[in-house]
Amino acid sequence: MDGLTRDPFREDVLEGLAKPQKAIPSRWLYDEKGSQLFDQITRLPEYYPTRTELGILRERADEMAEAIGPDAVIVEYGAGSLLKIRLLLDALERPAVFVPVDISASHLDAAADELQADYPDLVIQPIASDFMASNLGEALPETAGRRAGFFPGSTVGNLGDDDICRFLRNARADLGGQACFVIGLDQPKSPDILVPAYDDAQGVTAAFNKNLLVRMNRELGGNIDIGAFAHEARWNGAASRIEMHLTSLKDQSVKVAGETFAFRKGETIHTENSRKIALDAFSALAETAGWALTRHWTDPDGLFAVMLLEAQ
């Protein structure tokens, strides 16, 4: 890397491994392989969020579509496999343009091509970008309808309060003063339900987490022994979140991007948070970013919520 070319992955890894509590931002879990593994996770029996949210969308998409209105530009942040957007597209009246935003360009292009085959009349404009860094306003077309954000899957729970507010402010600027935003939000519940959802019996979540080490070896010239780390899912009750960690199984040193980092046995790399945020707490955050929570829909057990925000 020369002085003019930034490598954000390299920068985040080197900075994160130098911290007292080693940590790497969760967005780097989602390379092409990581995105494929996450798609598998969403179909696991222990992983309730996807099927629960899909159930809400199947039952309530007509109400969401009515709120959005006709001829809309739909922007899906952190788009992934584009499964859930189909339920909303089917309910919408003449959706004009769909803009999926995802950090994994190859995964995004494949998903967009598949969606285009099923919706040949829909204009699809994929944007390969980290949804936290994207500045989409000028890239979005003008139509007769309003702009609507779509952010399913409770990915917003991966963020701290400051980042949630920053993301919502950026989206408010992107989508404009007449916009609305449909967001999925996992709700607080028993750790007996939560922990298995992030540490499944088949080991798919473990492979997803450890794929970050594989990526570091491949892209940053690392010499990490993948088998010397274990996946760990922890419930942090004080912060109301599941934490994913990679735990060192022994005292060891690893080399990444030319730098050497020591690990004690039991020391971890913190790779992801998944917060469970109550509706009133999220509403307060949204208000500081120029949004009002006007409606929400939940499943019968209250495991998950889909919210409608309106720009203020």
Does the pLDDT of residue 12 top 90, yes or no?
yes
Q: Cβ–Cβ contacts within 10 Å for residue 34, how many?
A: 22
Over its C-alpha atoms, the chain yields an Rg (Å, rounded) of 20
pLDDT, averaged across the chain: 94
Q: Write b or e for each residue in 185-204: b if 16 or more Cβ atoms lie within 10 A of its Cβ, otherwise e.
A: bbbeeeeeebebbbbbeeeb
Which amino acid does the sequence have at 259?
E
Report the candidate in 23, 178, 158 with the shortest Cα–Cα distance to residue 78: 158
- The owner of tokens 């760990």 is 232
pLDDT tens digit sequence for 257-305: 999 999 999 999 999 999 999 999 999 999 999 999 999 999 999 999 9
Q: Quick one: what percent of the chain has pLDDT higher than 70?
A: 98
**Ramachandran category for residue 258: left, alpha or beta (phi over 0 → left; psi -120 to 50 → alpha):** left
For residue 226 the two structure tokens come to 């993948």
Task: Summarize pLDDT for 103-137 with one digit per residue, the tens.
Answer: 888 889 999 999 999 999 999 999 988 888 767 77
Q: How far apart are the first and last CA of the chain?
A: 44
Q: Which pLDDT tens digit goes with each residue over 55-100?
A: 999 999 999 999 999 999 999 998 878 999 999 999 999 999 999 9
Nearest to 130 by CA among 96, 166, 93: 166
What are the backbone angles phi and psi of residue 263, rounded to the nearest 5°? -125, 135
